[in-house]
Amino acid sequence: MKKRFPDDFLWGASSSAFQIEGAYDEDNKGLSVADFNSFKKSQIQADTKVAADFYHHYEEDIDLMKELGMKTYRFSIAWTRIIPDGDGEINQKGIDFYNNIINKLVKNNIEPFVTLYHFDLPFALVEKYNGWEGRETVYAFERFAKICFKEFGDRVKYWQPHNEQNLIVRVNERINIYDENDEYKIDKMRAQMDYNMCLAHALAVNACHEMIPDSKIGTAVSSSVTYPLTCKPEDVYAARMNDNFKVYYMLDMHQYGEYPGYYMNYLKERNIMPVMEEGDKSILKKAKMDFIAVNYYRTNCAEALKANDEHPFGSREGTVDFNMYGLFKMSMNPNLKATEYGAAIDPSGLRVALNEYWQRYHLPLIITENGLGTPDILTEDGKVHDEYRIDYLRSHIEACALAIEDGVEMIGYCPWSFMDLLSSAQGFRKRYGLVYTNRTDDELLDLKRIKKDSFYWYQNIIKNNGL
């Protein structure tokens, strides 16, 4: 049979600290933006206080990872466990916790794959510097990254500075824009935050290469693949610009050290150009990614959206899949089925994305998020029959195999998520895991880990190195 995946392919699964750990204030951990945002929803869904309680169950959870056969585990380090207030004293208990996780992963031949910032900025930095708007936060992140490289770099080879920077800057709450209502001021603030995150990313990349010579570090991008709604030239252009404004402007900055022309023109025309200090350019230019991590869930359609007096060029409507006047208007693809939470199911779009990223940047690619969120049902005999998730994963793994046949260099596949964890918008109603976490939004229950049918299916995929 034809070999479709490399022998050293990193089959794994993913999670993030605030969505899985719980223990939000134990062992000196500080409050994060993710905690703050989740507590505002505590009356209607689960929050970060317990989540999946990985903090107290990590040993048995890693045993399950070993049973699954995982080659890698992609997880994040909570900044507020290492430095509770973001830029002050180092918390040894936090370092001890992640040392325990990393050591157990290594002992079980599971490659640790670490994200440094996954939506959980220390809230103290919001209070002191307005978070990412303040340049002080850039240097606080650099310090945090260097501490992690020093403490864990002897066992961790793969790193990501940020998760989905291109997505979080589009969601006001995620980047701690709370009280401002003036859209112009918000977009000006957003542009500065985005640039500062790019600079922080570059400083982390450079430090990683200097401190851990054999390391690999790259960005984790929220993938956008956009089809034109019609074959009208203006709609084709709109689809291109949607991907440009949601993905490629940031990848270009991370790889080439500068924003592309269309994005600079947008910043200038809107008069929201961020402050860029002398010396930044050399830092940004030096920071070359070693790989691109792809978080892929869906595709969308776009059509042209004209600007007018009421909605001048570049003004936005919405958050994640926003419309941008003068450039694009978003819509669902009428030819695709969607999940009950509105994500179009499109494995062919993943093949498109992988080919696009490979052709543009010629960097190895790894899937760090890809999955189906559903309200899974636990049967009376304690099982979860999630054949719909198996179908989803099978079709997307097949898309990866086809991309490899196209010539794309892929190094791994990590579905979201290893186990049920706290969904930002739907708590524990929306489940992604290969392992069921026995709790609801309203009741902790016993937090028992229950292997779903998809667990056994994926176990076989890993054992056979693919489909």
Q: Using one digit for the tens of pLDDT, what is the confidence trace for 78-127?
A: 999 999 999 999 999 999 999 999 999 999 999 999 999 999 999 999 99
What does DSSP assign to residue 309? S
> What pLDDT score was predicted for residue 2?
67
Is residue 425's pLDDT more than 90?
no
**Residue 60 among the catalytic residues:** no
> What pLDDT score was predicted for residue 438?
97
> What pLDDT score was predicted for residue 423?
92
Give me the residues paired with residue 412 across strands.
10, 366
Rounded distance, CA 424 to CA 119, Å? 10
Rounded distance, CA 169 to CA 272, Å? 14
- Percent of the chain's residues with pLDDT above 70: 100
Give me the count of residues in the chain.
467
What tens digit of pLDDT does each residue of 207-245 get? 999 999 999 999 999 999 999 999 999 999 999 999 999
> What pLDDT score was predicted for residue 424?
82
**CA-based nearest residue to 97, from 22, 35, 183:** 22
> What pLDDT score was predicted for residue 121?
97
Contact 355, 366 (CB under 8 A): no
Please report the domains of the chain, with CATH numbers, ordered by start residue.
10-226+240-297+343-463 (3.20.20.80)
Is residue 343's pLDDT more than 90?
no
Is residue 333's pLDDT more than 70?
yes
> What pLDDT score was predicted for residue 341?
84
Is residue 170's pLDDT more than 80?
yes
Report the 10 Å Cβ neighbour count for 4: 16
Q: What is the pTM of this model?
A: 0.96
252 conformational bin, left if phi > 0, alpha if psi -120 to 50, beta if neither: alpha
Sorting pLDDT into bands at 50, 70 and 90, what band is 467? confident
Is residue 322's pLDDT more than 70?
yes
**Mean pLDDT across 33-42:** 94
Rounded distance, CA 26 to CA 422, Å? 18
What tens digit of pLDDT does each residue of 252-261 get? 999 999 999 9
Is residue 442's pLDDT more than 90?
yes
> What pLDDT score was predicted for residue 144?
98
**Mean pLDDT across 31-52:** 95
Which H or E element spans position 302? strand 300-303
Rounded distance, CA 169 to CA 165, Å? 6
> What pLDDT score was predicted for residue 9?
97
> What pLDDT score was predicted for residue 284?
98
Q: Which of 369, 380, 387, 409 is catalytic?
A: 369
**Mean pLDDT across 13-25:** 97
Q: Which of 111, 142, 164, 303 is catalytic?
A: 164
Number of H helices, E strands in the chain: 16, 16
> What pLDDT score was predicted for residue 85?
97
**Mean pLDDT across 382-386:** 95
Burial degree of 112 (CB within 10 A; 0-12, 13-18, 19+): buried
167's tokens? 């997505």
Which sign, positive or negative, has the C-alpha torsion 365, 368, 371, 373? negative
> What pLDDT score was predicted for residue 340?
83
**Residue 164 among the catalytic residues:** yes
**Mean pLDDT across 26-32:** 97
Largest interatomic CA distance in the chain = 64
Is residue 273's pLDDT more than 80?
yes
Most confident of 3-7, 173-177, 258-262: 258-262
Is residue 31's pLDDT more than 60?
yes
